[in-house]
């Protein structure tokens, strides 16, 4: 508020206030009522405040700022606090909505992950079951008491295979492997057992049988063919890298392999997409 205007207001108020005692000395029919008394008190208060403002301005020369009434200040402060609280509540509500959305996404991702884990577990169970060689069949009760000599048992199994009875030959060679773990023709029995398994596309069990047959790289007539059959089983199991590794050993271990075996090995290399040697 400009200083000259404050001075004018203060002068007017002083003149008005100075006139009050003279009027009070004028005889009146009735004394001032309570309402007039309150009005006079308020005017006195205003005059005192104006005088203080003017004197302060004269002493300091600084601009005078008239503060609002205490009640108005508190109401303004309260309104400001309420506004701040409303803004805080709005931010909290927004944060809660975001957190709820993120929790829902996490729950869905967790459920999807559980489903994937279950699916992988089922696949592993199937793969492990497929890779486990079948248990050799139990021998008939009448044969359990007396076993054939190893050579006789091997010859009987081979005759079943030559006759085209692959199911019977599979059981007979499996029984030989079980009954004669130290038999003189154990490795060859595993090789022929793998052949019977390959006939019915039991590639995982056949691969296990072939691996047992060529362990130690025996120098026999059937060993090169066993390597090729192992590679073909691995290709069927979608393991081309392992198949190529087995085929790479063929010329090293059996450089004099028959031409028919070498031809089938070349076809297996093409099937497995082996790199050129």
pLDDT digits (tens, 9 = 90+) for 199-235: 999 999 999 999 999 999 999 999 999 999 999 999 9
pLDDT value for 204:
95
Residue 22: the pLDDT is 45
Distance of alpha carbon 58 from alpha carbon 202, whole angstroms: 112
- CA–centroid distance for 152 within its chain: 60
> pLDDT by residue (tens digit) across 38-92?
877 777 787 787 777 767 666 776 665 555 545 666 677 777 878 887 888 788 8
Q: Taking the complete model, does pTM exceed 0.75, yes or no?
A: no
Size (the chain), residues: 277
The C-alpha atoms of residue 178 and residue 139 are separated, in whole angstroms, by 11
End-to-end CA distance of the chain: give it in Å, rounded. 102
218 Cβ contact list (under 8 Å, min separation 6) = 187
Which percentage of the chain shows pLDDT scores above 70?
68
Spatial separation of the C-alpha atoms in residues 98 and 86, rounded to whole Å:
18
Chain segment 232-254, per-residue pLDDT in tens: 999 999 999 999 999 999 999 99
104-155: pLDDT as tens digits: 877 876 676 566 556 655 655 555 455 445 555 555 544 444 678 999 999 9
Q: Please report, for the chain, the start and end positions of each structural domain, with discontinuous segments joined by +.
A: 3-60, 70-131, 148-272
What whole-number distance in Å separates Cα of residue 5 and Cα of residue 161? 127
Of the candidates 202, 153, 160, 201, the residue with the CA atom closest to the CA atom of residue 180: 153
Q: What pLDDT was estimated at residue 42?
A: 79
Residue 246 class from Cβ within 10 Å (0-12 exposed, 13-18 middle, 19+ buried)? Answer: buried
Longest Cα–Cα distance in the chain: 157
CATH superfamily of 148-272: Tetratricopeptide repeat domain (1.25.40.10)
Residue 19 pLDDT greater than 60, yes or no: no
Q: What pLDDT is attached to residue 25?
A: 46
Reply yes or no on whether the pLDDT at 176 is more than 90.
yes
Per-residue pLDDT averaged across 155-180, rounded? 94
């Amino acid at each position: 508020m400009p200083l000259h205007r404050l001075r004018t207001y203060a002068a007017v108020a002083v003149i008005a206030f100075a006139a009050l005692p003279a009027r009070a000395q004028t005889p009146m029919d009735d004394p001032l009522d309570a309402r007039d008394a309150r009005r006079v008190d308020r005017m006195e208060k205003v005059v005192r405040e104006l005088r203080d403002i003017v004197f302060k301005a004269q002493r300091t020369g600084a601009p005078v700022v008239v503060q609002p009434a205490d009640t108005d200040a508190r109401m303004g402060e309260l309104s400001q606090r309420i506004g701040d609280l409303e803004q805080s509540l709005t931010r909290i509500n927004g944060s809660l909505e975001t957190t709820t959305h993120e929790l829902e996404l996490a729950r869905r991702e967790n459920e999807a992950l559980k489903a994937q884990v279950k699916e992988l577990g089922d696949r592993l169970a199937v793969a492990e079951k497929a890779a486990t060689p079948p248990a050799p069949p139990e021998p008939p009760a009448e044969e359990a008491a007396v076993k054939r000599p190893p050579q006789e048992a091997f010859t009987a199994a081979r005759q079943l295979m030559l006759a085209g009875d692959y199911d019977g030959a599979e059981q007979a060679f499996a029984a030989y492997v079980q009954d004669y773990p130290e038999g003189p023709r154990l490795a060859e029995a595993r090789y022929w057992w793998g052949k019977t398994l390959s006939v019915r596309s039991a590639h995982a069990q056949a691969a296990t049988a072939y691996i047992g047959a060529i362990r130690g790289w025996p120098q026999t007539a059937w060993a090169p063919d066993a390597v090729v059959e192992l590679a073909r089983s691995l290709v069927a199991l979608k393991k081309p890298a392992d198949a190529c590794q087995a085929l790479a050993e063929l010329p090293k271990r059996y450089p004099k392999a028959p031409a028919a075996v070498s031809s089938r090995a070349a076809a297996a290399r093409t099937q497995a997409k082996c790199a050129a040697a």
